[in-house]
């Protein structure tokens, strides 16, 4: 099962990269590996508040929402500061994913109730 999931994730990363940045150009599916897979769980008060946080050692980061944001938790939004000073907060529902350049600063706002996974 992981082989099928891994293949789908790789294909998604390649497609999103091709449409936006081309940092994976020439690497192909065979040469694309996952540096790390992390599971984060935020409960009330939990957050990733470091304003200078980014994922070093990777080219792309994929954040997948496992919880149902309409009933499992409140708050806990992915926050992506932009160069112009604005902040992008993508609306994520269960099963949605956001792909971004790993060196891009990102945060998670405080969870005010429930559990975000």
Q: What is the pLDDT of residue 33?
A: 84
Cα–Cα dist 74/112, whole Å: 5
Walk along the chain (117 residues) and give the pLDDT tens digit of each residue.
688 988 899 899 999 999 999 999 988 666 788 888 899 999 999 999 888 899 999 999 999 999 999 999 999 999 999 999 999 999 999 999 999 999 999 999 999 999 999
- Give residue 51's pLDDT: 81
pLDDT at 89: 96
105/52 Cα distance (integer angstroms)? 6
CA angle, residues 15, 106, 64, in degrees to nearest 5: 50
pLDDT for res 7: 87
């Amino acid at each position: 099962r992981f082989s099928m999931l891994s293949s789908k994730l790789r294909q998604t990363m390649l497609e999103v990269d091709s449409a936006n940045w081309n940092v994976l150009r020439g690497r192909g599916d065979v040469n694309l590996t996952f540096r790390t897979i992390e599971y984060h769980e935020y409960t009330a008060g939990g957050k990733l508040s470091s304003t200078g946080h980014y994922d070093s050692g990777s080219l792309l980061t994929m954040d997948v929402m496992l919880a149902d944001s309409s009933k499992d938790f409140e708050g806990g939004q992915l926050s992506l500061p932009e160069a112009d000073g604005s902040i992008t907060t993508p609306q994520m529902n269960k099963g949605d994913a956001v792909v971004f350049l790993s060196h891009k600063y990102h945060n998670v706002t405080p969870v005010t109730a429930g559990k975000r996974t």
